[in-house]
Chain A
């Protein structure tokens, strides 16, 4: 990993030659030569500037407070459309990685960002994405300390792909693990399910509703901090991204060897998300969120954690949706509104619309 492309020896951050001669990405922007350096200097550095990054070493040196453990995660972002209601690919790339650290109980510290740009991509759009990443970093209290850009020929990419890697500090003694759910624990969610997935799909399918369907894309660091401060009884947390609530709960049930039983009516789902799901033939329990979390909490602490969640803007709609049980290990069940019980299995294959 190099610090934002491969600058030639003569490269200077204050290089007066601007990338603005081009309003679209050309292959030369990924050459490692002058144009690459211009792009870095003109687009990335002004937005992400910090002492570690502007040193432009081949690697970033990050200083930690004394700790015995760090958390590391990485994620790639390929969403289409790249701008959507409630966010964009840049905001998603920051918060997606920040949230993976946060739900493990880690304090996110630094990110790296690698961009794969398609030849012909408008630099103005890249600037908007980068500005959005800058704002997202400030919101989450993290810095981008290293990066990379590559350009692929037209048709070989899809506008822009971003990969972010994040490191975070784990406080002494914290031991959240999806393998630690126990019978009797309560299952909490921080807010409505499926907003992000359906916001994206609605744009793709050209659906419109009386109220706008917006992505829930947001950093969970503040919410997690409040929850952890108030309780030592949190067993684990998951952000229900791809695969939605179903995958998050199934992964916990599998890893812990326990059953999970939730109440269909207790799970918050926005009316417009339900409406979009009905129209598109999809199930909100399988739709992605990008600013929500699922927590398994010791029964004795569940009330306190729920109160802490509701005290944070991202947790106002937090709900207790069910419990961990011994009766059906590794299986998640849903008690339906009419009193029946069904299994909530993991999604098999891609979520595809049904014919009728």
Chain B
């Protein structure tokens, strides 16, 4: 398939891996920012293939993972209202709140719908004028334009029964927080390709300059990731610290101007709490004041939310690159994708979920090189309806 096969080509990958090994005089610590990158790296086993040249630590860029429990509980409270229809991206639907999750709530009779686009939720609102339709608007800068467009469209179509529950996060303040932490280990970043497609690379040039740290903006296929790793390693070896765009077929330095305009017209920057990390200044978007009638937090008064996080979960340390999933004693035993204790296990793009799905340690005794995971029980198999 064009635009995929060439970026998964085995021969090119082998050559790049060899070049990275030769270029690297020591084992550099790189963080891939984006959850989609973590997913690909573990899926293709790139971190293990490169383990002698670089250490890849997994960043906070899974928007589902970092959505605070409080917001999830709020979504659950809204979905429980008999007049509400809650629309959500698929992987948000099974993230457990303090007591239940959206799919379980749906089984009890709540109207929860998985949509591929926030614009589908606007259509639901148009079809059900007697119901209050809420879209669970989470994500990084990548999903912000489409989410903003849903609000803009609902406003122009005068669909007063449409609102969004916003928990948007922005990448650059999170990079600031990681680099400025006293225990930071990260020496270079693989920048988030899709986020930069929207916002451009300007903020990342500033970050690289401000912190003296290389940032290679790259994509999600093995060749993209390897090219990004090579660029970062070369900068580290040569003592440079710049933003380098290794995803030029998609990312323009100026980004997508009309998407940016849309985001700015609907959202404004605010402080935002990240699950597992805590509050980061200026790290989120919220709806602008004149759009309050489309703000689900205003439309639905669900009262005080009382959350209960696991005390055992180390996802905060994993999200900042200080620990790996298998450093956690609960990984794969008390904490699995069907019984997640915290942020990094709840979504398929979280580091713990990726390690679990693609079979990373804990290793069985006597087995050193093969990745193994606890096998899910038969009862966990898919209850879908393909037959």
What is the interface of chain A, defined by CB distance below 8 A to chain B? Answer: 75, 77-80, 92, 96, 196-197, 200-201, 205, 241-243, 247, 250, 254, 265, 271, 274-275, 278, 280-281, 286-288, 290, 327-328, 330-331, 333, 336-356
Contacts and interface: CB of A to CB of B under 8 A. Distances in A.
Most A C-beta atoms less than 10 A away, residue of B10, B116, B387:
B387
A190 to B, nearest CB: 18
B116 A328 contact: no
B43 A342 contact: yes
Contacts of A286: 382
B1 A345 contact: no
B91 A352 contact: yes
Contacts of A353: 89-91, 114, 116
A339 B45 contact: yes
A341 B371 contact: yes
Interface secondary structure of B, over-half rule: loop
Interface of B: 1, 4, 8-10, 13-14, 17, 35-36, 42-46, 48-49, 63-64, 89-94, 103, 114, 116, 138-140, 142-143, 194, 222, 336-338, 347-349, 356-359, 364, 367, 370-373, 375-376, 378, 380-387
Given A338-B17, A350-B384, A356-B194, 18 more contacts: A78-B387, A79-B387, A92-B387, A196-B386, A287-B386, A336-B45, A337-B44, A340-B44, A340-B45, A342-B358, A342-B371, A344-B359, A345-B356, A346-B380, A348-B336, A350-B103, A354-B90, A355-B92
B376 A356 contact: no
B229 to A, nearest CB: 13
Contacts of B139: 355-356
Nearest to A92: B387
A337 B92 CA distance: 30
B93 to A, nearest CB: 6
Interface secondary structure of A, over-half rule: loop
Contact of A350 (B48, B64, B92, B382): B382
Contacts of B336: 348
B385 A349 contact: no
A313 B292 CA distance: 61
A189 to B, nearest CB: 18
A355 B93 CA distance: 11
Contact of A340 (B4, B48, B194): B48
B337 A349 contact: yes
A337 B357 contact: no
Given A242-B386, A337-B13, A346 B376 contact: yes
Given A339-B49, A342-B45, A355-B91, A349 B382 contact: yes
A250 B348 CA distance: 20
